[in-house]
Amino acid sequence: MEVLRPFRDEIKAKSLIDNIKALTTKPVNIMEVCGGQTHTILKYGIEDLLPENIKLLHGPGCPVCVTSLEAIDMAINISLNKDVIFCTYGDMLRVPGSSMDLFKAKALGANLKIVYSPLDALKVALANPCKNIVFFAIGFETTAPANAMLILQAKKLNLKNFFVLCHEVLVPPIIASLLESKESNVQAFLGPGHVCSVMGLHEYEHLVHNYQLPIVVTGFEPLDILEGIYACVQQLNNNGVRLENQYTRAVTQDGNIPAQQAIKDVFEVCDRKWRGLGFIPKSGLSLNSQFKDFDATIKFKVDNLDIQESKECISGEILRGLKKPYECEFFGTKCTPLNPLGATMVSSEGACSAYYKYRQSKLTASP
C-alpha cells in the first residue's frame, strides 16, 4: 500500500479535479480502452467528481468481454471430448456461448482445469501424456508474449499432446474500427497502459494523426486516470492533438522488444470476430505456419462456426461506448455475475461487472 499511496493522494486528486473543472467549458467524451481503467473509475467514483459535461465512455478493453461466441462454442465443443483436459482461466467459465457456458460443459462431463498462468497448462500436458491438453489463449497484446513463450517451450519439448485455442486480439485495429463507425462520439482516448508497456507507443501515433484526436496512455490508479483526463481536456481546449504518455513509470516509446519478438516468432496477424462488435480485419493473432501443429481448431476441426448473438444483451453497445450498463433493462435483475446474459457481466474487467460491484444499489434505481 505504501508503494501505491502516492498515486491515490487525495490532495493531488482534488487539485487535478479543480483544474479539470476550470478547463472544461464544453461537452467532452473520453473513452478509456482498458477494463482495469474502467474499474478504477467506478471504484473511486471518478466520474461523479468530474464536471457534468465530461462523459466517460467504456470501451472494448476487457479480453474476456470481446471473446466471440464462436470461440466460446469452440471451447465447449473441444472440452467435451473424452480424451481432452481443457485448461482455462477461471473467469472464462461463465461466459455464455450460444447455448451454454464452460461451467455447464463441466457438469456434462468436460474435464476442465483452472490455470493461473500459461505454464500451468504445460505442466498439465507433461503430467498427462495420454490426454490431449488444450489451453484457451485469450487476451490483448499483454498476454500474447507469455502465450508465445508457452508455445515455443511446447515445441522445444516436442509435445504431441498439447494444443492452443487462440483468441488473441489487438487494440489499435479496434480503436480504428470504433472511430470509423458513424455512431462514434469519442473525442479522446485514455490509452491502455499494460498493452503499451509491451508494444510501446509507436502503434498509436498513426491513430492520432489519421483521426485527429488525443490519445493519452495512462496507468490504473486514480491519479493516473485524472492526469489522463486533464491532458485530454488540455489538448481539446488548445485545438492541438498528440500522443501523450502519462504512464512513464511503465511505458516507453519502443516497449518490450524481446516480448514483441516472441509475438512475431509465433503469431501472425489475422482477421477476427469480436463479441458484440463483429468482424474486424487484421485485428487478431493466430498461430503462424511453423506452429500449426499446436492449433486446436485444426486438431479438433471446430473452425468456421457462425453464430448469432443474443438480442437481449446490449454488451455490443456498451463496448462501443454508446450505452451504460444500467441502461440495459436486465441489468442487476435477469443479468447478474452468477447468471450473466453477456460477457461484460462476467469478467472482473467488464463494465457491467464494475457497475454491478460498485454502483448497483444506486443505478438500479436510475430512470
Nearest residue to 276 via CA among 325, 326, 332: 325
Angle at the Cα of 187 (from 235 to 226), degrees rounded to 5?
A: 60
Specify the pTM. 0.93
Q: What is the pLDDT of residue 139?
A: 95
**Cell numbers at 235, concatenated:** 489538448
d(CA 53, CA 21): 9
d(CA 250, CA 29): 26
Nearest residue to 134 via CA among 88, 68, 67, 77: 88
**Cell numbers at 353, concatenated:** 461487472
User: What are the residues whose beta carbons fall under 8 Å from the beta carbon of 136, sequence distance 6 or more?
Assistant: 75, 86, 87, 88, 89, 92, 165, 167
Q: What is the pLDDT of residue 338?
A: 86
Write out the chain's pLDDT in tens, 367 residues: 677 787 888 999 999 999 999 999 999 999 999 999 999 999 999 999 999 999 999 999 899 999 999 999 999 999 999 999 999 999 999 999 988 999 999 999 999 999 999 999 999 999 999 999 999 999 999 999 999 999 999 999 999 999 999 999 999 999 999 999 989 999 999 999 999 999 999 999 999 999 999 999 999 999 999 999 999 999 999 888 999 999 999 999 999 999 999 999 999 999 999 998 999 999 999 999 999 999 999 999 987 677 777 788 999 999 999 999 999 999 999 999 888 988 899 888 899 999 999 986 555 444 3
Q: What is the pLDDT of residue 1?
A: 60
Q: What is the pLDDT of residue 362?
A: 54
**Pairing verdict, β 267-274 and 278-287:** antiparallel
Q: Return the sign of the alpha-carbon dihedral for residues 244, 250, 256, 262.
A: negative
- Position 195, amino acid: V
At residue 93, the 3 state secondary structure works out as coil
Q: What is the pLDDT of residue 74?
A: 96
Which residue pairs, CB below 8 angstroms and at least 24 apart, start in 257-262?
Answer: 259/144, 259/145, 259/198, 260/145, 260/198, 260/199, 260/200, 262/144, 262/145, 262/148, 262/149, 262/152
Q: What is the pLDDT of residue 5?
A: 81
- Position 63, amino acid: P
Q: What is the pLDDT of residue 348?
A: 80
Domains, in order of start, for the chain? 69-170+257-299 (3.40.50.11740)
User: What are the residues whose beta carbons fall under 8 Å from the beta carbon of 118, sequence distance 6 or more?
Assistant: 135, 137, 146, 147, 149, 150
Q: What is the pLDDT of residue 360?
A: 67
Integer CA distances (angstroms), 124 to 82, 159, 223, 355, in order = 16, 12, 41, 36
